[in-house]
A and B are shown apart, each in its own frame.
Chain A
């Protein structure tokens, strides 16, 4: 079963008197455990498509299925529950809460999870070890470098054991070296955790590490190719 399935997905919205066709009839399947990068020029609809998959936006038409369940038309609270249980988010600007320390930031999704996980703290500490920040657990975000903050965000995206992690330019705010490290980390976690990654990026280095690259232009899929990696 596909982890994510989009069927003739469309998102139009008004900007003044103009109708913007951000996503136009996109149909695709992303398998469980895949690492997919979505590329395209600015305004091609990448982020809108990611927001539709992440249930942050409602489609104008079409269907979004996650783990086989049609989730596109759910009410706000049910969508929040699906996000909490099945989807993790990584943003370009990290979006850590400055009032919380590293552990508390990673545990934030647990606060809103309907089914509380008993081992939340253990899971958090394991993830912090996985992302190499076990010695920064009590630090505040402003005491960390950009790369470290994004590692915290990656751990936060995984804490609820989601089936899908969505990344919107996750390496967009760090230097090249840090970007490489983050890409390596996400790929490793993709394999370790068996979780699907869908990453929107301009970063060719990151896109090149994916299993598959989907190209968007004017809201349509114009390319969908697997990438072969040297063994």
Chain B
């Protein structure tokens, strides 16, 4: 109570100091939430590529592989399964200079692939696709929200651009299911059957070659799985074997992809953390300044406390608690403001699939712990100064 009243005695100064911490923790929360969002994406990619091998056309060639390659790949030692992959932009013609998230994507889904995938999808509403599904789609949460679709609704995919040419083709699908939010890539996906994907694949081929290619015999890429539990090192070895034994394909070593995503995540975290820490250091210095002023102003009070029996450690503790409280108040306000802003921006960005922030329990703990630690550390020097005061000199001080 005394600490709160002491803060209230110098309202403007206390407010400005707390504001310094507010700005710091606000920056940490918002930047951290953005970092967490991207980390989830990177982690998903890392998890995904830790359990599968992407196989595509050899370097420098268009992504077009004969499906017969699947049979050849399955003969390679260690390969448990291989599936064709097709994916298409949901909104062709959309101009995006910098993308902060996974764009809406139409993805082919074969139910037989599910047991091998590291990421386990779960249906929130409706049902999943079957091997015989045609004209049906299962939407990720973000796509369903963005297009305001429920189970039973119909959706035309890909979305017709405003300036579409007369020969633009899309197809109507029935929404049969909506996925639970994964907080990452699948939220932006619209899953269709492989047969429907091959139909869309034909639409995206250049007109000049469209008639000469049977899209039921080709794929954009192949996803290869080892037995469940196969290590990344073993998958690397399988990728090497595929490259050696199967001509005209390029298998990418999973460890290269994992390393790339890890490095991306670390760089992003470093940049956002550095910006937030800079703001926090400035806030911390203002706490040091305020607490030194508080100690100077309260020399006589400190002298009195020591005279009536306060031990050095007790005085130290009181001033540390005051500094820590400043940190906590600033931290709590900054954190709440940060959460409010990130939620508002997420809601605003939802319609364009631009949810950039993710406040996690880890971020909450870091932000609040950082605020407390900042206050305590910033209060150390002033608190030691108070605790070591000679009571006689302190009592004789004229304010």
Contacts and interface: CB of A to CB of B under 8 A. Distances in A.
Interface string B1-25: 0100110010000000000000000
Contacts of B9: 98-99
A100 B6 CA distance: 9
Interface string B339-356: 000000000000000000
B392 A108 contact: no
B10 to A, nearest CB: 11
A114 B314 CA distance: 12
Interface in B168-219: none
A104 B2 contact: yes
Nearest to A113: B309
A95 B303 CA distance: 9
Interface string B308-322: 111110100000000
Given A93-B300, A99-B2, A84 B391 contact: no
A76 interface: yes
A227 interface: no
Nearest to B309: A84
A95 B6 contact: no
A26 interface: no
Chain A residues touching B, range: 20 to 34
A93 B6 CA distance: 20
Contact of A95 (B300, B309, B310, B311): B300
B301 interface: yes
A23 to B, nearest CB: 13
B150 interface: no
A111 B305 CA distance: 10
Contacts of B2: 97, 99-100, 104
A60 B245 CA distance: 94
A54 B395 CA distance: 13
B307 A77 contact: no
Nearest to A85: B309
B395 A83 contact: no
Contacts of B69: none
B304 A54 contact: no
B306 interface: yes
A81 B5 contact: no
Interface in A37-59: 51, 54, 56-57
A108 B392 CA distance: 18
A104 B301 CA distance: 14
Q: Is the interface of B mostly helix, strand, loop or mixed?
A: helix
A112 B301 contact: no
Contacts of B305: 108, 112
A125 interface: no
Nearest to B9: A99
A80 B5 contact: no
Interface in A110-130: 111-114
B391 A99 contact: no
A111 B310 CA distance: 8
B392 A51 contact: yes
Interface string B269-313: 000000000000000000000000000000011011111111110
Contacts of B301: 95, 97
Given A56-B392, A93-B300, A100 B5 contact: yes
Contact of A83 (B5, B303, B308, B392): B308
A112 B391 contact: no
Contacts of B395: 56, 91, 95
Nearest to A51: B392
A156 B184 CA distance: 64
25 contacts: A51-B392, A56-B307, A56-B392, A56-B395, A77-B312, A80-B309, A83-B307, A83-B308, A91-B304, A97-B2, A97-B301, A98-B9, A99-B5, A99-B6, A99-B9, A100-B2, A104-B2, A108-B304, A108-B308, A112-B308, A112-B309, A112-B311, A112-B314, A113-B309, A160-B309
Given A98-B9, A114-B309, 18 more contacts: A56-B392, A76-B311, A76-B312, A80-B310, A80-B311, A84-B308, A85-B309, A89-B304, A89-B308, A91-B304, A91-B395, A95-B395, A99-B2, A99-B9, A100-B2, A112-B305, A112-B310, A112-B311
Interface of A: 51, 54, 56-57, 76-77, 80-81, 83-85, 89, 91, 93, 95, 97-100, 104, 108-109, 111-114, 156, 160
